[in-house]
Amino acid sequence: MVFLAIWWAWMGHTWFASAFDTDDTPYRLKVLLQMIGVLVLAAGVERAFEHQDFGLITLGYVIMRVGLVAGWLRAARADTAVRRTARRYALGIALLQVFWIGLLAVPAHLWIYGWGVLIVLELLVPWWAEGAGNTPWHPHHISERYGLLTIIVIGESVLASTLAIQSAVDFGSLPASLLQVIVSAPIILFAMWWLYFSQPGHAVLSSSRRAFLWGYGHFFVFASAAAVGAALAVVADHAIGRTEISDLQAGMAMAIPVASYLLSVWFVQIRPQPDDVICGRLFLIATVAVLVAPLTPFAVPVIAGILALTTALVVVSVDRRSRASLA
């Protein structure tokens, strides 16, 4: 839920920035306001997890979205070609922020249901707004922004796994099971980075319909990449006996987010490119293999091996296709 709030606020800013190439003082002040909202939201994460107190997170989210409303109102005033669309964006986003604030008054046991309704409405705002006329966007710019966030999220997973392994080492022992995690973690994360960028994202963005599927589908790419960092922390703790879960459960904690990542990257980056059937099959086979890996005694190293092999085969496939197109 927390990740969805961060991702959706980022989505709105990214597509707005691609539609309107502005970099003047009002635009930068809008970005400053959104940055303040991010900081407030981040400050409320612990309260949400520990006490189910969503007040500070809601405030941070609303601040970020108010900045976007200001941007759309400015676009409506300055660009007659997209005025109706911009007004719809501003109205839809602003109205939902009122509902988010009102949701804080709902009893705690009913809050989750209101959250589910409002999230669906948030996701429908662009679809409704674009019905009045499509805003412009640049495929290469959008692809670059998404690629940068993918790198950032994988980087956060690198940090999470580093801290977890450091904590495990400081715990006093260095068993073979922990050494396996230490060796496997960078291989898994490096392969995730390589596989995402094995195909150019901008080639998929050939229509508004594809852009919606590609853009929304990336939530699962980002969320699963972040979950891999949490999974590495779990298996590091399990390796030194600080958890009360079985080997199979620890292996599945690692396998599920990795498989989700492979499947979501296949869906948004590989599947829409029918001329690369081999890469698509490699991703799907790897997804199944990763889910089976926890049945072995060495789940994490096996997952690392599967990703390394998949990356190598994808590199060979892409290289052959490139040489064939040049021949």
Residues 119-139: pLDDT tens digits? 999 999 999 999 888 888 888
Q: Are residues 107 and 176 in the same domain?
A: no
Give me the number of domains the chain comprises: 2
3-state SS track over 2-66 = HHHHHHHHHHHHHHHHHHCCCCCHHHHHHHHHHHHHHHHHHHCHHHHHHHCCCHHHHHHHHHHHH
258: nearest Cα among 282, 211, 223, 212: 223
**Amino acid, res. 48:** A
Q: Are 76 and 90 in contact (CB under 8 A)?
A: yes
Rounded CA separation 215/17 (Å): 14
Rounded CA separation 180/269 (Å): 31
Q: Are 301 and 224 in contact (CB under 8 A)?
A: no
Last residue of a domain, one of 66, 100, 130: 130
Instruction: Return the pLDDT at 325.
Output: 66
Backbone φ/ψ region at 24: left (φ over 0), alpha (ψ -120 to 50), beta: beta
Write the DSSP symbol of residue 243: -
Q: Which residues, at least 6 apart from 110, have a Cβ–Cβ distance to it below 8 Å? A: none
Last residue of a domain, one of 109, 130, 151: 130
Q: Are residues 21 and 56 in the same domain?
A: yes
Residues 176-192: pLDDT tens digits? 888 888 889 999 999 99
Whether residue 193 is predicted with pLDDT greater than 90 in this model: the reply is yes
Residues 218-271: pLDDT tens digits? 999 999 999 999 999 899 888 888 888 999 999 999 999 999 999 999 999 888
Look up residue 186 and give its two tokens. 């960078």
Residues 42-77: pLDDT tens digits? 899 888 888 888 889 999 999 999 989 999 999 999
Rounded CA separation 320/312 (Å): 12
Q: Are 225 and 261 in contact (CB under 8 A)?
A: yes
Q: Are residues 31 and 166 in the same domain?
A: no
Q: Are residues 153 and 265 in the same domain?
A: yes
Q: Are 173 and 240 in contact (CB under 8 A)?
A: yes
Q: Are residues 202 and 93 in the same domain?
A: no
Q: Are residues 56 and 148 in the same domain?
A: no
Q: Are residues 280 and 218 in the same domain?
A: yes
Q: Are residues 79 and 218 in the same domain?
A: no
Q: Are residues 82 and 144 in the same domain?
A: no
Q: Is the pTM of this model over 0.75?
A: yes
Rounded CA separation 148/102 (Å): 34
Q: Are residues 33 and 159 in the same domain?
A: no
Q: Are residues 151 and 221 in the same domain?
A: yes
Q: Are residues 87 and 200 in the same domain?
A: no
